[in-house]
Chains A and B, each alone.
Chain A
Amino acid sequence: MKNKSYDAIVIGGGHAGVEAALALARTGHRTLMMTLTPDAIAYMACNPAIGGTAKGHLVREVDALGGQIGINADATALQIRMLNTGKGEAVQSLRAQADKIAYHMNMKRTLETQDNLDILQSEASEILTSGGSVCGVKTVLGDTYFSPVAVVATGVYLNANIVIGDWVQKTGPSGFAAATELTQSLIDLGLSVRRFKTGTPARVDGKTLDYSKMSVQEGQEEIYPFSFMTDGYIKNVMPCYLTYTTADTKKIITDNIHRSPLYNGSIKSTGPRYCPSIEDKIMRFADKERHQIFIEPESAYTDEMYVQGMSSSLPFDVQEQMYRSVEGMERVRIVRYAYAIEYDCIDSTALSADLSVKGVKGLYACGQINGSSGYEEAAAQGLMAGINAANYLAGTSPLVLGRDEAYAGVLIDDLVTKGTNEPYRMMTARAEHRLHLRQDNADMRLTQKGRDVGLVDDKRYDRYLKRKSELDTYREKLKDNLSIGEIRACYAAAGIPATDGAATAEILIKRGLPAQVVRQHVASLNGCSARAMAELATECRYEGYLKKQQAAIEQEKKLEHRALPDDIDYINMHGLRLEARQKLDKIKPINLGQASRISGVSPADITVLMAYLSVRSK
């Protein structure tokens, strides 16, 4: 059956799966994307939002490499904001409310119009291998599809359980079916499977909310969109609302805590600390009077509203009381109850840095199955798994992004090196090269790499080259001495008493003059775009700190450049502690830097490895 042979099969059509499938198809590989239902393609099962701190950076990076999430978010955004504008540019992130129905439809259409890509409704039951390499995927119907590559992107669907109070059902999110057979196949392939938990709040009928008791959260105007390919600004069409829990909320939850599956022991799987359910927040932070609740629009096509900050697995009757205790929600009618969901995922340390499964050629895993959480984290992994599967098919070397090159690099390195004991969320604090990994320079960091792997088309590449040349040109001009007239004009326009003496634009910016004022009043900078000017000003302001950070990067690079051959016998290595022997043997780090980040490998163990390397090299 020739039509059942593909270059690659992607199992799952969520935020990881779609990026993987598009990356493979766009690099010329005939790709089949299996999904339990095409109605759940790129479905936003939780927040109807894309971006947020660090996550916004990931979206920009995926976009810079030629991925789809940024374009799709821009096309379907209901409002957009830049977070952290009170802090430095490096930690500012975009966050957009996305229309979840439009988001799904737009992404599905993108897949359908993509050459080399077929969508198939089916449930994968087994990954077939031959001689240690993937050779195909079997479905629950007994059908077999042949392919040397399988990318597993099953999200939260593997053996998923929905929990509301003492009601438990074997089903996926939001009423979609769960996948029940693939887990055994993964175990048979040598992967260790774990159980994670996450949750989502209720969706409520917007017509039953009293918005007059809440404060309106509008989007911001004139914010650059996620994608470097989207022109103009995002229109803000729907607001969010901010409200608070009350003393009643606290009482209702405390009185009923024995009925919470999280507290009475019926949910044992690991949930994320950074995304606690409302019962968790109330119990753990008992002294906090109230908690903020954001009401977010799900879609322009529905009245349903998302109640951010109130995920829960309490029984339905407690939920009803609880939601009604929130200011402005006294008469609320729940459309969909909040629930916790448990699902199977793998221990991500079984993966190599290219997201391939060690020991099984052609098998890749990305997204929530790797223990991460979030659409953006999924998309970044999906894209990288897709790129690396494509490189594998083409016989070229993997693309592994460094921790100093991209948040995506930090994310994947953390997952495959440290592993995670809870659903992993990207945070700026995890990126030690944070000042450099800004969302504004994502294209400068990554678009050339995307071009090299064949994902960046001419149009995107042209934009990148134009921006690069603009930045390079004006970066030099910032160093030119200004005329006295220009200096005075800048100070006058900024309303700051002038300082005498020669100055360059760079110096003025470092003295705190607004970059755009300088741009307007310095003749040689008039031609610079506002966007490029803002980025150059950021570079100026961070300069001293970037040097400090660069020194730290250089220091670490020394470790990164000490490669660890993969034939090292860690188990019998003298001087290593037992835990370190086992962890190193399991993870087989590619260099000392990676080894040093493995939990359970101490600095003393690293010195033993250094010692080993210096002996070996002689």
Chain B
Amino acid sequence: MDTIAAISTPLGSGAVGIVRLSGDKALEIVDMLFRPYKASKLTDAASNTMCLGELSCSGISDRCLAVYFAAPNSYTGENVAELHCHGGVSLVKRVLDGCVRAGARAAERGEFTKRAFLNGKLALSDAEGVADMINADSAAAINAGYRLATGRTSTVVKEMQAKLLDSISYMEASLDYPEEMEDESKQDAIHTLRACADKLTALLATCNTGRYVKDGIKVAIIGSTNVGKSSLFNALTQSDRAIVTDIAGTTRDSIDEVIEAEGIALRLIDTAGIRDSDDKVESAGIERSRRLASGSDLVLFVTDASREITIEEEELLRQLNDGKKRIITVVNKCDLPRKNALKGIEISAKTLQGIDSVKKAAVDAVLDSNIDAGAEVITSQRHKDALERAAGSIASAIDNLNCAPSECTLLDMRAAYRALGEITGDTADEKIIDNIFQKFCLGK
């Protein structure tokens, strides 16, 4: 196999950045770029052992660590080498560039895991579970991934398949034994088909919930200037990432952070406050907040308890309501004397009073019901596609049951069965594999 290389740590200013290589020439390439202090080359040292040394490529040099894993005892099953250099986007990118110049190819998305699978290091079902867990930000998402892997979601689908199979068999039997049975298979089928249609509708309805479980809830913090949005952001994230001053308009760019609440990831977006210095800018600010709000699943509308509600706040609220957004009003600064009549969750970002209530309210507002361990929640786009196709085939079967001959209705029923089989693993389809691998991040 040709040699692939990729940056396997998140791009950003971390302390360490790792570039990983896998393939026939992985060791050769790393020996070209890296010289250990205590040996003439890395591959003279033992496998699976970190070596300190000097990295030089693309006009840079860095003191760094390197390690190699000889095939087949590596993640991909091939020769694998890793360069652990200092973090920093430009440095790590240069190291990757150096690897490519030395004969590696930049890996495609998911390619390391794909190779692990191709070389028999990973079963398909593991691969899918791993894909979801890699991307999981919250306990609930990991659990959903785990439920998928352990097959609890597929149990429901299997039950549906079993019923469908019964009806299909009945219908088939009446085709192959016309002289020997009274054909009531269509009457039987209509019950099964309707039951399946209902179940599929219910399952598909959980897809949104599933998306929140898997991808988290996007929460935009919106409000006028100086109502304490950044203070709330910091209180929620238990950090001081957002700069807080008493100067209106301190936050100029929106910043994001992911927190976990009730097992669900909340992707918080702290927005710049709306300036009220002149009409033009004010309306531009409202517009900007509305735009940010529209891309979110939920808006935390923050207001200041210590003063009266302003006209622009009322206008913003009205617009948000028109946008049919889920809104939670958060009344900040409740530690000060109350002058604001707006109803909402009363908090103090300063004393942390009410912060947990905000988290819980955010989750409750978005999820229709609590996610309990036993509920079937569809989190995978692939599963959603399969269920939708099954639902389509079932609908077609119901439509045609009385006007088309059985062998035609059976085509739809079998197609539905096959689609469900893509979830339970009853059918193999090359496309599925391609899709799965596209969902992998580079590296693990």
A residues adjacent to B (C-beta < 8 A) = 53-54, 83-84, 86-88, 90-91, 292, 294, 427-429, 432, 434-435, 542, 545, 548-549, 552, 555, 558-559, 573-575, 596, 602-604, 606-608, 610-612, 614-615, 618
Contact = CB atoms under 8 A, between A and B. Distances in A.
B427 A603 contact: yes
A549 B410 CA distance: 11
Interface of B: 1, 117-120, 123-125, 172-173, 175-180, 404-408, 411-412, 414-415, 418, 425-430, 433
Contacts of A606: 428
Contacts of A618: 1
A602 B176 CA distance: 28
Contact of B404 (A84, A545, A602, A610): A545
B1 A558 contact: no
B415 A552 contact: yes
Given A53-B177, A429-B176, A435-B407, A574 B120 contact: yes
6 contacts: A54-B176, A435-B407, A545-B408, A603-B427, A615-B118, A615-B119
A428 B405 CA distance: 14
Contact of A429 (B119, B172, B411, B415): B172
Contacts of A610: 430, 433
A575 B428 contact: no
A599 to B, nearest CB: 13
B178 A84 contact: yes
A603 B428 CA distance: 5
B120 A428 contact: no
Contacts of A435: 407-408, 411
B428 A428 contact: no
Contacts of B433: 607, 610
Contact of B407 (A87, A603, A611): A87
A435 B415 CA distance: 14
Given A434-B407, A548-B411, A614-B118, A84 B175 contact: yes
Given A558-B430, A614-B118, A549 B411 contact: yes
A88 B411 CA distance: 13
A55 B425 CA distance: 33
A559 B119 CA distance: 21
Contacts of A88: 404-408
Contacts of B176: 53-54, 91, 427-429
A53 B180 CA distance: 12
A575 B1 contact: no
Contact of B175 (A429, A548, A607): A429
Contacts of B412: 548
Nearest to B405: A88
Given A610-B430, A614-B118, A428 B411 contact: no
Contacts, number: 92
A311 B275 CA distance: 93
Contacts of B429: 555
Given A428-B407, A610-B433, A575 B120 contact: yes
Contacts of B173: 429
B120 A87 contact: no
Nearest to B72: A574
Contact of A53 (B117, B120, B175, B404): B175
Contact of B125 (A86, A604, A615): A604
B406 A603 contact: no
Contacts of B175: 53, 84, 87, 91, 428-429
4 A-B pairs with the lowest CB-CB distances in the bound complex, closest first: A574-B120, A88-B405, A575-B120, A603-B428
Contacts of A294: 179
Contact of A611 (B118, B177, B180, B425): B118
B260 to A, nearest CB: 33
Contacts of A612: 118
A602 B123 CA distance: 12
Contact of B428 (A91, A607, A614): A607
A615 B115 CA distance: 9
Contacts of B118: 611-612, 614-615
* Most-contacted residue by chain B among A83, A429, A610, A614 (CB, 10 A): A429
A438 B312 CA distance: 74
A95 to B, nearest CB: 9
A90 B407 contact: yes
A457 B412 CA distance: 41
Contacts of A602: 425
Nearest to B409: A545
Contact of A604 (B405, B408, B425): B425
A438 B427 CA distance: 26
Nearest to A544: B408
Contact of B178 (A53, A429, A545, A549): A53
B427 A87 contact: no
A83 B120 contact: no
Nearest to B118: A611
Contacts of B1: 615, 618
A574 to B, nearest CB: 3
A615 B24 CA distance: 13
Contacts of B123: 575, 604
* Most-contacted residue by chain A among B404, B405, B425, B430 (CB, 10 A): B405
Given A427-B176, A435-B408, A604-B125, 16 more contacts: A83-B178, A83-B179, A87-B175, A87-B406, A87-B407, A88-B404, A88-B408, A428-B407, A429-B173, A429-B176, A548-B411, A559-B430, A604-B123, A610-B433, A615-B1, A615-B118
A165 B136 CA distance: 68
Contacts of B179: 83, 292, 294
A613 B407 CA distance: 36
A575 B426 CA distance: 18
Nearest to A548: B411
B398 to A, nearest CB: 15
A356 to B, nearest CB: 28
Nearest to A604: B124
Contacts of B172: 427-429
A558 B433 CA distance: 14
A603 B426 contact: yes
B73 to A, nearest CB: 13
A429 B169 CA distance: 9
B425 to A, nearest CB: 5
A54 B429 CA distance: 29
B425 A87 contact: no
Contacts of A429: 172-173, 175-176
A615 B23 CA distance: 12
A571 to B, nearest CB: 14
Contacts of B406: 87-88, 91
B85 to A, nearest CB: 31
A378 B427 CA distance: 31
Nearest to B77: A574
Nearest to A595: B428
Nearest to A309: B180
